[in-house]
Structure 1
């Protein structure tokens, strides 16, 4: 069996993922902007790759990131030998990381008019190197000369303004003390701000990369023979919550899948990344796979709220239940706790969880969970059949 086409029509990355799930061998004969290439797959692993003058692993990374590649795929192909041994997900994530950080090795392009040394572009500087550029250093020196141009005049000005300075220091001290008291009392939530790092920078002995704590693959918004994998670029804050998410290299025809991936990742929860033992915000590349939407005839498992889309579908609605009272009536803090509730076939809440737990709201979260477990709902229906359902629910305090 032979399949031919172009990666603009069929994603080469998706085809590789599908091929690695097939026990047969596969031969990808490719033609890209830098010439002919080859990918061999055996036993669910990529075992050989060539592209231009690149080493096998570098060739595989470049081939899966090329925008337009003609391909011919043969099954049950002969595999002459192994030069690499890498899985599809591992290959795709590393290729996207290298592309994002400008570290991909491209095939050598020989120029007739310009020598090799002149045609080679310098690598893109990393963020910490850019801050030490000559332009930045010159700017800092110039600012120093402006700030301290006349030391004698500055000294006279400081002496004449001594009472004002003392008053300002006292005011700042009172402000800091009041803010600290408000934070300890729960009236003020302080968010730490640090420059985000890339996950590739976390390679020290005391560095810790984030790990997924909660989050499930989203249901496929469309029924296709092959479900795509959407790569997302995700910014995690110092608590491991998702602060920002965007699609990494959007592809045409996958708008519905990309929107569903973004919506799902926003609800994910990770362990905090740490650099030198300190929690830091971090950018990561996260692959989002999809699951096919279950039919009522096939399963009686709880159904997510996102699948109640048909005209005969009915989400559970509240019948009985009142908002809880705040544990601290004297405080102005009235947080809203976002929860997920599992409603059974009788409308009872049999499971409840907080979507984004926060240490400073732990007491409020416990009260919210204890309260919603006594609520009563109408029974959810899908295609006219009563089903258990997971629904989002926000708890406010009186």
Structure 2
């Protein structure tokens, strides 16, 4: 393990059990140093707390992968143009972050940790600035909701279309979404559930997890004709068309959304690659996405889908956690692997893939919020 990666992970252990304190200290220091920044954030800061933690954890996870680190942070810089950030804002964020880490870690913090995080943040800021400077597309897109279909009490499938400029993205990526009618300045990230289309329609699968105001607004209050705002697409869970390896996809809950987009993309050019999808949920009724795959299964003989239930004794198919069930069908060492779902599900699946001996460069995954 690279020394920088080791120091970041070691020091994160000191603060990860005090996340609320870390985030509260960070924003208190940031708004003290840059009062004008407060107007860029929502009145209620709880959703923003989660976004900061997700960004920190993601940075630690990818710092050992230079290509992914560069791609992810440049995309994040393009995405953050919607906040109208300036150079002095990047400096203030770095100072507030280092101060928060040192304060929460207390006596266990040392100069090595301080220098590691200072270096990591400098690299992050440089790449975000570069990504923002390179961007030619809009900072965000206004999009009209076309359809809104409820798939249960707390889940909806929504389609929308940008009104003016085309939003170009790759299957497997995600965008941040704002619902300005109900929650101005509050954004949440969602995977795009379809491969790019000529008519530029985007599909999202939205479930309402605990304390997600944007998801609740999208599922329970949004209607066709309403406007959304979509930020620049990000994410590296995309296909390598030059690869000839077969494909493994492991999805939990609405993590099936980006997997569906990937399968649709494969269908446009595939002639030789087998695609194996393992799709898990607690109960059979929660496997709402199976309907999306029925036509794909009938059209493409190279596709297989294995549904998995973890808490449904009446289910006659595969029982257990999807992160464990897929291992029974391995080995997967010669496959390109894609994983999408909740944080615990993704971590368990990555552990299983590592135990199976799958090389890290053959694995792409995405985890944001509660799928």
TM above 0.5, yes or no, is no
Instruction: Name the larger-Rg structure.
Output: 1
Bin for the TM-score computed over the shorter chain: under 0.3
Give the helix-richer structure, 1 or 2: 2
TM-score (norm 1): 0.24
